[in-house]
Amino acid sequence: MTLDIRGLSKFYGTFQALNEIDLSVGDSEFVCLLGPSGCGKTTLLRVIAGLESFETGEMMLGGRDLATIGARDRGFGIVFQSYSLFPQMTAAQNIGYGLKLRQRPRAEISARVEELLALVRLEQFADRLPWQLSGGQQQRVAIARALAVQPALLLLDEPLSALDARVRAGLRTEIRQMQKRLGIPTIMVTHDQEEALTMADRVVCMSAGRIEQIGSPAEIYARPATRFVADFVGSSTLLSAARAAGFGVTPPPGQGDSLFALRPEDVLIREDAAAAGRVRSITFLGNVSRVEVDWQGETILAETHRLPGFGEGASVDLSLQPGAGVWVQP
């Protein structure tokens, strides 16, 4: 089933939280809503869930108008950031709760709960109460609970953000593999670009209530459409057309006010006593070092393999990899 959102706008009083949102989510697709705090991603997820109203536009699921269906009857699975398990219920009872509400036979509930406990690899923990589980385990129970009713759509609101880095990375892979296996269309909110780039089929990059760009992780990274996306996803140096000309690149006809977005890995750096660049800082990142270069008053980010052979203050020359950079809207 496909979710189709057209021209959707939402206001809180006079404040416009969502501005003309157009978005389709296909069968089995994993879509991430990515953007900074306050850009409207949670609002969009809550509108889709039916927990918030909207003023204009339409939202259809498999041809059915969602505006006519209450949150409860949409049958969507929702997982929130904070552990929202029922504290007095065991893991198994939490997972079976939705089925119990729907008055499914007891044997069916216990079979389904067992299946889901296995899916999230918590067979040994069926009888634990939430406080007896780690954060990662609690979120796995929350995911199993959301999946119990075979939702038409799975909605995840920053489900990993309260977990430590290692657990988070493990759960990313787990959630993604589970979603692929089950083929449930999924929308996940995150402000973490790495999470979005590693998990999503498509990333929806949002800013100030608008969609800036929708694309595969590779498209969003390699061909950001706007200045915002170039800046927010990964690191970029943004050069004016006049500055870019110094590197032998010119904007497409009629787009003189475009900016040239350069990834640090596209900038080659070489020590040269006679050159115009000055190394301002070097940050060791393990496999590479990030080098900030003062280039005729402009700061340009470059990258070297491991540690460079020069230090801060060194004179360096910069050049671009063939095909480096993209022109973006200012």
- Encoding tokens for residue 89? 């219920």
Nearer to ligand ATP, 168 or 191 (CB): 191
Residues 211/33, Cβ–Cβ less than 8 Å: no
Helix, strand or coil for residue 237?
A: strand
Residues 34/199, Cβ–Cβ less than 8 Å: no
Residues 145/95, Cβ–Cβ less than 8 Å: yes
Nearer to ligand ATP, 39 or 238 (CB): 39
Q: Exposed/middle/buried for 268, CB within 10 Å: 0-12, 13-18, 19+?
A: middle
Give the shortest CB-52-to-ligand ATP separation in angstroms. Answer: 8
Give the shortest CB-17-to-ligand ATP separation in angstroms. Answer: 4
Which residue's structure tokens are 């200012």? 330
Nearer to ligand ATP, 156 or 244 (CB): 156
CA angle 58, 62, 66 (to 5 degrees): 40
Nearer to ligand ATP, 55 or 257 (CB): 55
Which residue's structure tokens are 């993604």? 176
Nearer to ligand ATP, 38 or 87 (CB): 38
Nearer to ligand ATP, 42 or 138 (CB): 42
Residues 30/176, Cβ–Cβ less than 8 Å: yes
Distance of CA 299 to CAs 274, 310, 326, Å? 19, 18, 18
Give the shortest CB-39-to-ligand ATP separation in angstroms. Answer: 4
Identify the H or E element spanning 93: helix 91-101
Give the shortest CB-135-to-ligand ATP separation in angstroms. Answer: 19
Residues 15/52, Cβ–Cβ less than 8 Å: no
Give the shortest CB-248-to-ligand ATP separation in angstroms. Answer: 39
Give the shortest CB-290-to-ligand ATP separation in angstroms. Answer: 26
Give the shortest CB-21-to-ligand ATP separation in angstroms. Answer: 12
Give the shortest CB-294-to-ligand ATP separation in angstroms. Answer: 34
- Encoding tokens for residue 84? 């929202």
Where on the chain is the footprint of ligand ATP (CB under 6 A)?
A: 12, 15, 17, 35, 37-43, 191
Residue from 15, 42, 19, 13 nearest 209 by CA: 19
Give the shortest CB-19-to-ligand ATP separation in angstroms. Answer: 11
Nearer to ligand ATP, 13 or 63 (CB): 13
Helix, strand or coil for residue 176?
A: helix
Dihedral sign of CA atoms 139, 140, 143, 145 in order: negative
Nearer to ligand ATP, 209 or 215 (CB): 209
Residues 32/26, Cβ–Cβ less than 8 Å: no
Nearer to ligand ATP, 8 or 147 (CB): 8
